[in-house]
Amino acid sequence: MSECSPKEFAVNDFTAALQELANHLADISINEQDYVVLLRYFSFGLNRLKSYRSQFEQGEKCLVLSD
């Protein structure tokens, strides 16, 4: 019986360590999903700013040409 106790203890420690690792990996994957969404919005915002900038520059050129 004394041999089983250390083995059971090791198995329980190993199981707890695997559970902790699984929880950590799940947290990382959730955070990565959040970052992907934020990056999409950031990219969309940058593209929108580029579009506004090009429209503004074209508007300035038109105003200069009409003067």
Q: What is the pTM of this model?
A: 0.41
Domain count, the chain: 2
Nearest CA to 23 out of 34, 12, 31 is that of 31
More confident of the two residues 61 and 12: 12
d(Cα 43, Cα 49) in Å, to the nearest integer?
A: 10
pLDDT surpassing 60 at residue 66 = no
Tokens of 30: 């959730």
| 19-48 tens-digit pLDDT | 888 888 777 777 777 878 878 888 888 888
d(Cα 21, Cα 55) in Å, to the nearest integer?
A: 51
d(Cα 38, Cα 9) in Å, to the nearest integer?
A: 43
Domain ranges, residue 4: 1-30
The reply to whether 39 and 25 lie within a common domain is no
The reply to whether 55 and 39 lie within a common domain is yes
